[in-house]
Amino acid sequence: MLVDCVTYIVCAAVGLDVGGEAIPYVAGWGEDGALEQIRNYAETIDAVARRIEAAVHADGGTADGDGQIAAEPS
């Protein structure tokens, strides 16, 4: 669950639209009682996502038109 939330945040940050798949999937956890766990892990989710985003942006990665991560032109 932690990984799925982080993955959604990082993909969105680099321009990948994964909401169609991820949002219903994560929302389904609320039905299973896992929503409270997401709240408990929110700070960790945010911290991990920010570190990955920083690493991707430091490397110059962005999503190109076909959703693939590509290095920005120099």
Written as six digits, the tokens of 58 are 């430091």
* Residue-level pLDDT at 65: 45
pTM above 0.75, yes or no: no
Cα–Cα distance between 28 and 46 in angstroms, integer? 20
What is residue 31's predicted lDDT score, i.e. its pLDDT?
A: 72
Residue 73 has pLDDT above 50, yes or no: no
Domain boundaries, the chain: 2-71
Classified as helix, coil or strand, 46 is: helix
**18-66, pLDDT tens digit by residue?**
888 888 887 777 776 677 777 888 888 889 999 998 888 787 655 554 4
Phi, psi of 16 (to 5 degrees): -95, 125
Q: What is the pLDDT of residues 3-21, one digit of tens each?
A: 888 888 888 888 888 888 8
Token pair for 61: 């990665």
DSSP 24-50: HHHHHHHHTTTHHHHHHHHHHHHHHHH
